[in-house]
A and B are shown apart, each in its own frame.
Chain A
Amino acid sequence: MDAVVVDDLTKEYRTRKGPVQALTGISFRVERGEIVGLLGANGAGKTTAIKILCGLLRQTSGRAEVFGVPSSRPEVARHVAALLEGSRNVYWRLSVEENLRFFAGLQGAPPREARRRTQGLVAQFGLEDKRRTTANLLSQGMKQKLALACALVKGTPLLLLDEPTLGLDVETSHELRGFIRELARSQGKTVLLSSHDMGVVEDTCARVVILAQGRVVADDLVPNLLALFRTRAYRVSLRDGLPDGARAQLEARLSALRPLEAERALEVELPPEQDVYTLMDALREAGVAVEGVSRAEPNLEDVFLRIVRGQNEGER
């Protein structure tokens, strides 16, 4: 059985200005133990999809199920926990331990089990020194860790994480990515993660579902998407920048040329009939001093932008 089944899901909000279509018949599945990224620009429908899966929002039509349970039923909460608004999901006047025990109890865990889970998570998240500190006195990074721990303490097999690293510094963000990867690897948790931070998604997710204007525009493994947009592009670092007239000379021989970093580097995409020797010859003849050449690999951000822009242009 799949952990998440979303089938032809539609959500329409009725506003004073008329209906707003947040989701238009989206479908995707998440297998047990997978970490899947849900990507999309603001207003693409990520949070709407996540809230429908949590049972916090009612769909207009279609199917949303978590481990076979329709998300509209309260029992769905036995299978899913969510981090929805980051550190706003915790009680600021309760201590770290009190928060964790409360959320474990809310899920129906007996006091002894709630204490056991609390102790485990306090240690796992490095919150031992802060276990009696009220949440309002924690740093932003610690609050975010606590919010994630509060979702984990429920012990559900599925976690929905909406922007889990929002507002975190680089170090804490990396630490949280590690936790998320570990959840799937050692505990077999299924994670559906939505984020604007492509680094987080690329670092943690094996597969991504890309939403644009309420529709699924891509659903594939990250390496497949990267391969799809891999080009014969090279990045050339220049020792002394571009000499006078060199740019025009290079543009005459190399069609897709893009100066970078105030002409201290170039990005060149070679057509099939040209190879790296053609590139080197052109650079030498233009009198350009080369410091290094590397293959320019697309990252998930490039892939995301190309897909979403392509979708937008197609709609126009």
Chain B
Amino acid sequence: MSRLWTFLAVLTRFFIELKRYPFNTLSGLATLYLIFLLLFAGARYAQGLGVNLFGESLEGLVVGFLVWTFAIAAYSDLSWELMREAQQGTLEQLYMCPLGFRFVTLSWIAGSFLTSLVMVAALLGLMMVTTGHFLRLPLGTLLPLLFLTLAPVYGIGFLMAGLALVYKRIQAFFQVLQFVFVALVALPSDAAWGKALPLSLGTRLLGRAMVDGETLFTLPLGDVLVLIGTGAFYLLLGIGVFRLFEGIAKDRGLLAHY
């Protein structure tokens, strides 16, 4: 049971802090919506010129933007939170959790996933009203697909968190990654190498579920298996790299420093 209590304690703190900074939460949502509006206006203009910027339809823009938003939150929450904990001096206390620090980070991820889900659902509602294109939302298919699509991003989040433990200031790398994610979301997943990269295949499959109404069982089995494989690979790779850097930080006494 102690796992449950620890999980709940981490989750409760996550939500208390979210509630305590309502401006930060709401302004984040508003900024994302504004970016979407700019992209949408650009896409409409390009469509008028006969250029299709976001695949087959505007729905492609909505799905891509949705995945990108989720991905940014997924990878930044973990590494950003870790840097913040190191800065304020509480990271060492989290490392003294009897279940281990990795359990704390997994609980963070759960909190981050739930929060992002609510934020993205609100954003999706706004986007659908703005575009006038209403997508299908089969949750039974969407949630597992979303998790599998984001698993590599969580892996990258662990990798970044590991780097932050040892090198502390990684903001430059951190910001560049946001643009890399845009490229990954927009990348065609037809080629085998495209499927092996994070986000690309998952975005396409989510698009097929939300636009064409396909379910987990009607999507190509091969693609779903590749998605599971790449998700597990990047997640485990990220955790492995995190463990490596964690060991270096413990060896050099860097957990308390920022």
Contacts and interface: CB of A to CB of B under 8 A. Distances in A.
Contacts of A105: 5-6, 8-10, 12
B125 to A, nearest CB: 30
Given A105-B5, A105-B6, A110-B1, A57 B250 contact: yes
A106 B97 contact: yes
A78 B20 CA distance: 31
Given A48-B253, A98-B13, A105-B6, A92 B88 contact: yes
Nearest to A101: B9
Interface in B92-140: 92-101, 104
Contacts of A48: 253
B13 A111 contact: no
A89 interface: yes
B62 to A, nearest CB: 35
A91 B13 contact: yes
Contacts of A28: none
Contacts of A74: 97-101
Interface stretch (A36-44, A79-87, A200-208, A231-239): A79-87
Interface in B1-23: 1-3, 5-6, 8-10, 12-13, 16-17, 20-21
A133 interface: no
A94 B98 contact: no
A102 B256 contact: no
B56 interface: no
A140 to B, nearest CB: 15
Nearest to B255: A56
B64 to A, nearest CB: 35
A273 B94 CA distance: 62
A150 B253 CA distance: 23
Contacts of B252: 13-14
B90 interface: yes
B247 interface: yes
Contact of B88 (A13, A84, A91, A109): A91
A150 B13 CA distance: 15
A13 B92 CA distance: 19
A108 B98 contact: yes
Contacts of A104: 9
B89 interface: yes
Interface in A31-56: 48, 51, 54-56
B38 to A, nearest CB: 33
B251 interface: yes
B112 to A, nearest CB: 17
Contacts of B20: 93
A94 B85 CA distance: 13
Contacts of B92: 51, 54, 56, 82, 84-85, 89
Interface in A136-190: 150
B13 A94 contact: yes
Contact of B247 (A58, A84, A107): A58
A107 B253 contact: no
A56 B257 CA distance: 12
Contacts of B21: 93
Contact of A108 (B6, B13, B17, B250): B6
A77 B98 contact: yes
A88 interface: yes
Contact of B96 (A13, A54, A57, A58): A54
Contact of A85 (B89, B101, B250): B89
A56 B246 CA distance: 10
A110 B7 CA distance: 11
A277 to B, nearest CB: 58
Contacts of B98: 74-75, 77-78, 107-108
A104 B2 CA distance: 11
A90 interface: yes
14 contacts: A51-B92, A55-B95, A56-B95, A56-B253, A74-B98, A74-B101, A77-B96, A77-B98, A78-B98, A85-B256, A91-B88, A106-B93, A108-B1, A111-B5
Q: Which 7 A-B pairs have the closest CB atoms?
A: A105-B9, A108-B2, A88-B89, A74-B100, A77-B98, A77-B96, A78-B98
Given A106-B10, A111-B5, 20 more contacts: A51-B253, A56-B92, A56-B253, A56-B256, A57-B250, A74-B100, A77-B97, A80-B96, A81-B96, A90-B90, A91-B90, A93-B21, A94-B17, A102-B12, A106-B93, A107-B6, A108-B3, A108-B5, A110-B5, A114-B9
